[in-house]
């Protein structure tokens, strides 16, 4: 069974692709590890979920759990809005295999990691369960 088959009759949700120029800039900023470049990308593209997730991951890696939590929270809520616009109705898969979904899924994962880092263990557990429900095929640890 693949991740794109309906789960209990619910079709998977697929977000639309991001702007190719923003995607290229994000890949460059991530590979260079430039937090300021990530901030610029988010400022120019505030609906770009993966930019929020990557900026939050950089913050967490730098020891800023509160900054990471804030970025993850923004990506999570914007992501919920995006998947709802794409047809998600509170259940069903949002497959990792569909690359445009990864920003939202990374935001859910990061929210759990950042919540754990600031002592919000219940929220961290909820995020881990939600991520597994959304994307059993995810590659996040």
pLDDT digits (tens, 9 = 90+) for 62-104: 999 999 999 999 999 999 999 999 999 999 999 999 999 999 9
pTM of this structure: 0.92
Please state which CATH number belongs to domain 20-134.
1.25.40.10
Residue 78, CA distances (Å) to 21, 46, 71 in order: 20, 9, 11
17-26 confidence digits (pLDDT tens): 999 999 999 9
Three-class SS of residue 10? strand
How many Å apart are CA 55 and CA 121, to the nearest integer? 22
């Amino acid at each position: 069974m693949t991740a794109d088959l309906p789960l209990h009759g619910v079709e998977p949700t697929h977000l639309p692709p991001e702007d190719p120029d923003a995607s290229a800039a994000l890949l460059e900023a991530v590979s260079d590890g430039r937090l300021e470049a990530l901030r610029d990308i988010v400022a120019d593209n505030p609906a770009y979920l993966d930019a929020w997730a990557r900026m939050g991951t950089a913050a967490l890696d730098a020891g800023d759990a509160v900054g990471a939590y804030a970025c993850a929270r923004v990506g999570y809520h914007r992501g919920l809005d995006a998947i709802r616009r794409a047809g998600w109705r509170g259940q069903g898969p949002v497959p990792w295999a569909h690359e445009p979904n990864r920003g939202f899924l990374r935001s859910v994962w990061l929210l759990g990691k950042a919540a754990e880092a600031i002592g919000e263990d219940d929220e961290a557990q909820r995020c881990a369960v939600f991520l597994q429900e959304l994307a059993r095929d995810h590659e996040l640890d």
